[in-house]
Structure 1
């Protein structure tokens, strides 16, 4: 189904103007690691920089005083859907997710806009901006400015600024042995976006994709105040396996994922079985597959879902066993009905083991 209701009949599909969409646009994790490793930027020491890029965490955190730290992030991408208003909403929710994943609360945002100004109708571009602003209003923050350029491909996202008490801040590197892993949202956004580009996605599937990608990860701030919650991240472009591997590397532990426990969006397993997947899924596996031990009984469709790039995906929580119920109840109370236990953290090498 072609979801272009808000565009003039002559306007090109937004997704036709980009070589990738959503968090599937991310540079492959292996390539990104090489680029960062080859950077000539000096490694300066700032004692108040509580979180930098050492563990590929979700946002930078800078301490102002004992009670306050600034959370700063930026995230932008090319269209994952054709409806410009939905594109703006999805991109904005995805950007603000990084603040929630640190246990923070957003304060304000700035827009990042790159548009082919002579290709897209100006009304279409305005709808993208309107969609992003609507999510900022929902988050209770101002969209206070930004920067725009004339670009070949459409790009939209936000710089997000938030605040967190340093005592409640949650890194992705602080999981503990014996922790349980809870995932806040179902998987399959990348697969549904691939189906959309192939005109295979029906209206119900489209609405499911938009609903999950525009749902703000607000539980992050409350989760961070639960004593038994040790680490937080959000699952985005590197897929569940990639972000679980970041938890494992940061803590020096082995992450176990239960392949039978994964919450999934409607129809995604069927699409995966039919080979409707993103190119980013394969790039993800090529980047980190050597550090993943897969159960031989695991269906290939589930491997595709485990590496599927999630745009505005769910929070991945590493918490003590006795706090699991509290975590699940908090998710449920805030409208995350499919939040589920998906694994655990155990002693061992920094890798991920998937059982089935």
Structure 2
């Protein structure tokens, strides 16, 4: 089988983080009447929907543990390995940590795709792990009806630098380090309508590591942080608001967006994950009348390996923006697109 001719997205029913189970269904899955014995050393579990579990090691530092995997979002096997790995490692960065070790998770349809194709996936993963300064140290593989790849990643963090999605404070400004729209573009690719000149935009964004998260973890004025993935900006911002008992007011025009997505929205290039997302949390959004429109379609677009959503003390926004600039964040993304305010009973997020 010629790996140059493989189009991985033809072998899966979903793509990237768009494969994620919707927030509403996940609520049902995670609910349990069985009481769990509390671990006093577990600093972060799944009660706040954070990006990773965190265990206190008793010496001022903590272990961050996470896993993430999905079906192909691009056709090229090497790029699939890079993107899936960057996405998994991002959970450690989103907690303000430093990744230290990765283990691979591979499901492969051995009757449909050759082992040489899987080898390319692993090569892409090793390249991203090397960029993150860690080793792909092993893993587990199974025969699977559709190709699946991801990582289990461990990281370390000084407890004083640990960031969560539930610790934002009133008055914080909101930032997003990557532009929205990769779900729209990858759906256009799967539909065969993506222009050749736009083919590198989404893969480049998705394979970019959120390394800056380790730096942001050391900033006291960064009050909360998470990465934006399959639930879209509105979904992950909702989790931040609910966990912090606040509401968000966001300015749509200031939200970083990939410029070319509008021509694909005109051709109805909307991921199925967008609709599932909206059904889960659309009722929490002010002014939407519970219906998807142009703005909310973009804001609910499922991102794969999306950017970091950061809540920053307003008085320190100028210094924060300088840090973003010094760490190579594109200038168009260095803008606050919203604020966190006192929560009311009406809605969780207001779009203006």
Under TM normalisation by the shorter chain, which class is it? over 0.9
> What is residue 22 of structure 1 aligned with on the other side?
16
Q: Which aligned segments of 4 or more residues in structure 1 are displaced greater than 4 angstroms?
A: none
Once residues 345 and 305 of structure 1 are traced to their aligned partners in structure 2, the CA distance between those partners, rounded to angstroms, is 20
Is 2:117 the partner of 1:117? no
Once residues 17 and 145 of structure 1 are traced to their aligned partners in structure 2, the CA distance between those partners, rounded to angstroms, is 25
> Per-residue deviation at 1:294?
3.0
RMSD (Å) for aligned C-alpha atoms: 1.8
Is 2:165 the partner of 1:169? no
Q: Equivalent residue of 1:89, what SS?
A: helix
> What is residue 61 of structure 2 aligned with on the other side?
68
Once residues 14 and 344 of structure 2 are traced to their aligned partners in structure 1, the CA distance between those partners, rounded to angstroms, is 34
Whether the 8 Å contact between 2:282 and 2:288 is mirrored in structure 1 is: no
Once residues 204 and 331 of structure 1 are traced to their aligned partners in structure 2, the CA distance between those partners, rounded to angstroms, is 28
Once residues 194 and 232 of structure 1 are traced to their aligned partners in structure 2, the CA distance between those partners, rounded to angstroms, is 28
> What is residue 353 of structure 1 aligned with on the other side?
349
Is 2:338 the partner of 1:343? yes
How many aligned positions are there?
348
> Per-residue deviation at 1:215?
0.7
Q: What are the ranges of 5 or more consecutive residues in structure 1 without an aligned counterpart?
A: 1-5
> Relative to structure 2, which stretch is displaced further, 93-102 or 268-277?
268-277
> What is residue 263 of structure 2 aligned with on the other side?
270
Once residues 266 and 207 of structure 1 are traced to their aligned partners in structure 2, the CA distance between those partners, rounded to angstroms, is 14
Using the size of structure 1 for normalisation, the TM-score is 0.94
Query: Which residue, 313, 326, 333 being the options, matches 2:326?
Result: 333
Once residues 186 and 283 of structure 2 are traced to their aligned partners in structure 1, the CA distance between those partners, rounded to angstroms, is 27
Once residues 86 and 40 of structure 1 are traced to their aligned partners in structure 2, the CA distance between those partners, rounded to angstroms, is 42
> Per-residue deviation at 1:225?
1.2
Once residues 260 and 293 of structure 1 are traced to their aligned partners in structure 2, the CA distance between those partners, rounded to angstroms, is 16
Is 2:29 the partner of 1:35? yes
> Per-residue deviation at 1:275?
1.5
Once residues 167 and 349 of structure 1 are traced to their aligned partners in structure 2, the CA distance between those partners, rounded to angstroms, is 31
Q: Equivalent residue of 2:134, what SS?
A: coil
Whether the 8 Å contact between 1:257 and 1:352 is mirrored in structure 2 is: no
> What is residue 78 of structure 1 aligned with on the other side?
71
> Per-residue deviation at 1:65?
1.9
Distance 1:138 1:41, change over 3 A: farther
Whether the 8 Å contact between 1:273 and 1:300 is mirrored in structure 2 is: no
Query: Which residue, 90, 100, 105 being the options, matches 2:98?
Result: 105
Once residues 350 and 243 of structure 2 are traced to their aligned partners in structure 1, the CA distance between those partners, rounded to angstroms, is 19
Distance 1:289 1:144, change over 3 A: same
> What is residue 232 of structure 2 aligned with on the other side?
239
Whether the 8 Å contact between 2:278 and 2:292 is mirrored in structure 1 is: no
1:59-85 Cα offsets, whole Å, 9 max, x none, are: 000010242100000000000000000
> What is residue 3 of structure 1 aligned with on the other side?
none
Q: What are the ranges of 5 or more consecutive residues in structure 2 without an aligned counterpart?
A: none
Equivalent positions of 1:81-230 (< 5 A) are: 81-230=74-223
Once residues 169 and 268 of structure 1 are traced to their aligned partners in structure 2, the CA distance between those partners, rounded to angstroms, is 35
> Per-residue deviation at 1:266?
3.2
Once residues 105 and 35 of structure 2 are traced to their aligned partners in structure 1, the CA distance between those partners, rounded to angstroms, is 27
